[in-house]
Structure 1
């Protein structure tokens, strides 16, 4: 078990996944900016993604769509490294060379997601704050923040809101482990179907398409919770006064969902979905493509051979 936890193969998968996700997010980062703005700023009208980005550039400057890029990339690097490492380590420990199944992919994906959430939520809370800092909101109730960087944001949040604020949105994030779990289940399942028992590498187009399909299904299924997660991470909401933190979290999530549905209808829960789908599907597709290529090349260069790679 110890050798599997610290295996070279898990490390290669983790580095490849982190590198692929960082590159893909950088390419499509403005789309994520448009999505986050629509989720948090309730008074901003839901226009097409290009129109939202045009408004942001006009009001806030040419580089505004890339505001908060560095903390997001740092968080994404850590998050994907942890997720890919845990996913492949636990899967290798479970299977021990046997063929995987969709149910195993789902269970392992959920377990890896839980570990990832508990370890990296503080990074995502900080990057959400930094990404929205300096934005021109339509909602006048949103209070401006003044963070000079990642460390300063950590310090101010801890001093003003307490250490627990760094884990704002943890509960919906734990529910949202279904997103990458569903994504990996579909992705790995489609890979097995395309190979149909033949040990071959998939083409770049095949990897891109199945990565896009997997992410599109996972995103559409979990989007309302992603909206609530963004609002909670931003930190500007009224928390119910409950003795039980779990009960308080449940009431907060319910209250935010009901309030948004009352104000904007059921479709309000999916505000920004177009931008999110455009960003996340393209990002995931490119990420999986880069991940597969980096991992495959690394294993070949290090002389581990393709069987070690393909059995997962």
Structure 2
């Protein structure tokens, strides 16, 4: 089994576990990002309160709306990302080694090359898995309307208004809804801001390196031989992640708005023709505040998910390598001498 495949499968496994643990936060966060009701905008409520409201009004199941396609999307995204990351990384390392043999460079992959590897892996991931996340967003933002809010247009809807329970909103409903709205292109809605968001890890990495360099320079100026502790690394990483999130979060909100169900024929403020149209309308009708809706929830969810993902992934990679080495040792011992 190749190292790229091991990392891909481990990333998928870690992503699934992280998704299961933090999914209710994701659902609430997506609703916060796509909320355009002026009344709700004025009445602020915390994440926990919003989760309680969803459970009270729509049931526990709505906190996990779209979980199945989301797990598929997470497994695909993490698997695709780490698989291609390992492939691109191996090529970058081979190129660096070749340059060293030619007399240029020290054989290590530089910062720019590392950023390029991460960016290319992220772009491949976005292009291949965006349709899954469009469906997930639809299912997360779908709400059960009360009978008084519904206007019957056919016999089935009249039965619902009359008191019958509406059928569950399944993955097939979301897929059909997206296709009816915009055809196949609808499954790549929000892909442009998502591609730009690939820069998030790059920004995080650059901020981390800058902060770490400043800390080391400060220690050196004081003639201190104290190394950087694990706690300091954790805090610097957290600050870098926070900075990257603040910079790129508006793009995440725009992406969610584009992927959510469009209010066609109702209020033009709620209907976006594309990325630029969404940005301009959000600035005009909501101001800069609209671009940072639900950011506190996202930060909590991202930190928890990232911690679980990296922890589980590393354990799975180490376990897989140990099993492979163990099997290889058995084969060597079983060979006749």
Shared fold, TM over 0.5? yes
Match of 1:242 in 2: none
Residue 302 of structure 1: SS of its match in structure 2? helix
List gaps (5 residues or longer) in structure 2.
98-106, 151-156, 158-165, 213-228, 265-271, 327-337
Deviation of 1:120 (Å): 0.8
Whether the 8 Å contact between 1:113 and 1:177 is mirrored in structure 2 is yes
CA shift digits 1:2-33 (9 cap, x unpaired): xxxxx710011111111111101110111111
Match of 2:284 in 1: 262
Relative to structure 1, the CA distance from residue 71 to residue 126 in structure 2 (aligned partners, 3 Å threshold; closer, same or farther) is: same
Q: Tell me whether 1:164 sits opposite 2:185 in the alignment.
A: yes
Deviation of 1:208 (Å): 7.3
Superposed counterparts of 1:1-312, under 5 Å: 8-43=2-37, 44-45=40-41, 46-96=44-94, 98-135=107-144, 148-183=169-204, 212=238, 215-236=241-262, 252-303=274-325
CA shift digits 1:253-302 (9 cap, x unpaired): 23322322333331221011011111111111211111112112211221
Relative to structure 1, the CA distance from residue 181 to residue 37 in structure 2 (aligned partners, 3 Å threshold; closer, same or farther) is: same
Distance 1:214 1:286 in 2: 18
Q: Which has the larger displacement, 267-276 or 61-70?
A: 61-70
Whether the 8 Å contact between 1:183 and 1:218 is mirrored in structure 2 is yes
Give the structure-2-normalised TM-score.
Answer: 0.70
Q: Which has the larger displacement, 211-220 or 109-118?
A: 211-220
Whether the 8 Å contact between 1:17 and 1:81 is mirrored in structure 2 is yes
Deviation of 1:214 (Å): 5.3
**Which structure has the larger Rg over C-alpha atoms?**
2
Aligned Cα root-mean-square deviation (Å): 3.6
List gaps (5 residues or longer) in structure 1.
1-6, 192-202, 239-248, 305-312
Match of 2:216 in 1: none
Match of 1:4 in 2: none
Give the structure-1-normalised TM-score.
Answer: 0.76
